[in-house]
Amino acid sequence: MTTTVSKAAKPKKRRRIRRSKNSKKYFTKVHENAIIKYNDPNTSHREKDEIYMALIKPALDQMVDKIVFTYKFTTLPNIDILRQECKVWLVTDPLWHGGRS
């Protein structure tokens, strides 16, 4: 006669779903180089305008829009003004110009 001893079943580990490391970023290396060139004192105002309009402005717009929609600020009555102020603050921040706060 044989007796079997049943082992307690181990609970299965749950796998965490993680976001891929290749998630879309607002600023890529191209944007970083554009910001560095934008802050270069030898860059003309015309070049700065072109860099800002082509690369920096679309990334800032996308970033601010994601913040607005993620935290549901769309119901605020003056959201368009607040978006513009946020973009102005981001551009005039001392870190933008290579300073430390």
The per-residue pLDDT for range 75-100, each reduced to its tens digit, is 999 999 999 999 888 888 766 656 55
- Cα dist from 17 to 4, 58, 60, 95, whole Å: 38, 30, 29, 34
Domain boundaries, the chain: 29-97
Q: What is the pLDDT of residues 7-27, one digit of tens each?
A: 666 777 777 777 666 667 778
Decide which of 97 and 28 is more confident.
28
Q: How many residues does the chain have?
A: 101
**What is the biggest distance separating any 2 CA atoms in the chain, rounded to whole angstroms?**
94
